[in-house]
Amino acid sequence: MQGLFRVCAASLGPIAAIMAVGATAVIAQQQPRLDVPYVPTPQEVVDRMLQLGKVRTGEYHIDLGSGDGRIAVTSASKHGARSLGVDLNPVRIEEARANAKKANVSDRAIFELKNLFETDIGKADVVTMYLLPSVNLELRPKVLRDMWPGTRIVSHAFDMGDWTPDHRESVIGRTVYLWIVPARVEGRWAIEGSHQFTVTLQQKYQEISGTAEIGGKSVPLRDASLSGAEIGFAIDIDGMPYRFQGIVSGDRIEGRRNEWRAARAK
């Protein structure tokens, strides 16, 4: 973390000097305006990020701010992914394409000169990034809006504010974070099956809680959980504990063994 901040501060030196000699307008045209300076992720950390993101053969992986392409090239060569790296610096894009060629994965690790904020992440199974706290925070609404429940985000060094990671660990002194994009479940649901009742859910990212209205009584949900599209909770019915586990799909939930289902209620 500190490494990146140090580079940020250090990189101001030459830029300030250029401005001082009055070449600002020309340089501004030539230099892409980067939101994050280039600092590569060590290979051990790259390997662990892709393991944590559970990148599988044929999955679509995007590295936002791809630098020399090492994360996208590794996901294509070691995990069999189709990967896209985007970077605003044309020098980095050239390096990344050369590295993909060297690793024999030019067909599966593609690099585009593109702003990460304008990149379509809606079809990605996994997104990786090594950016900055402010950039992660700016990306957060886009991640939650555009990515499908169950897709994974892995970040080197920086968190996503009050979105608690599903996993966090240290690799050779670097912190790596994993989030699983949660389905949107907040609101009222009508449950049908062997028992009929309504459930009202509150949600903060992947943390959920709520109450069931059953037999004229309000019963708190116990052990409520949400991981991607997988939801679970327990309630007592007539003094007996029941666990409900299902898969959320838009405005419907299907019980795991089809023994119950739910639809959004008004």
Q: Which residues in this chain contact ligand SAM in the complex, by CB under 6 A?
A: 34-36, 38-41, 63, 65-67, 70-71, 86-89, 92, 115-117, 130, 156
Residue nearest to ligand SAM (CB): 65
In whole angstroms, give the CA distance from residue 109 to residue 146. Answer: 22
Least Cβ distance, residue 27 to ligand SAM (angstroms): 16
Least Cβ distance, residue 63 to ligand SAM (angstroms): 5
* Alpha-carbon distances of 12 from 9, 35, 40, 263, rounded to whole Å: 5, 13, 18, 54
Nearer to ligand SAM (CB atom), residue 42 or residue 150: 42
DSSP 117: G
Nearer to ligand SAM (CB atom), residue 59 or residue 63: 63
Least Cβ distance, residue 257 to ligand SAM (angstroms): 42
In whole angstroms, give the CA distance from residue 210 to residue 53. Answer: 30
Least Cβ distance, residue 70 to ligand SAM (angstroms): 5
Coil vs helix vs strand at 243 = strand
Least Cβ distance, residue 147 to ligand SAM (angstroms): 18
Nearer to ligand SAM (CB atom), residue 44 or residue 259: 44
Nearer to ligand SAM (CB atom), residue 86 or residue 224: 86
Q: Dihedral angle at the C-alpha atoms of 242, 243, 248, 251, nearest 10 degrees?
A: 20
Nearer to ligand SAM (CB atom), residue 66 or residue 151: 66
Coil vs helix vs strand at 155 = strand
Extract the tokens encoding 221: 């949900």
The residues facing 261 across adjacent strands are 192, 254
Residue with tokens 């949600």: 203
Least Cβ distance, residue 209 to ligand SAM (angstroms): 36
Nearer to ligand SAM (CB atom), residue 82 or residue 208: 82
Least Cβ distance, residue 43 to ligand SAM (angstroms): 9
The CA R_g of the chain, rounded to the nearest whole Å, is 23
Coil vs helix vs strand at 196 = coil
Contacts of 117 (CB under 8 A, 6+ apart): 138, 139, 142
Extract the tokens encoding 173: 């002194």
Nearer to ligand SAM (CB atom), residue 50 or residue 221: 50
Strands 109-113 and 82-87: parallel
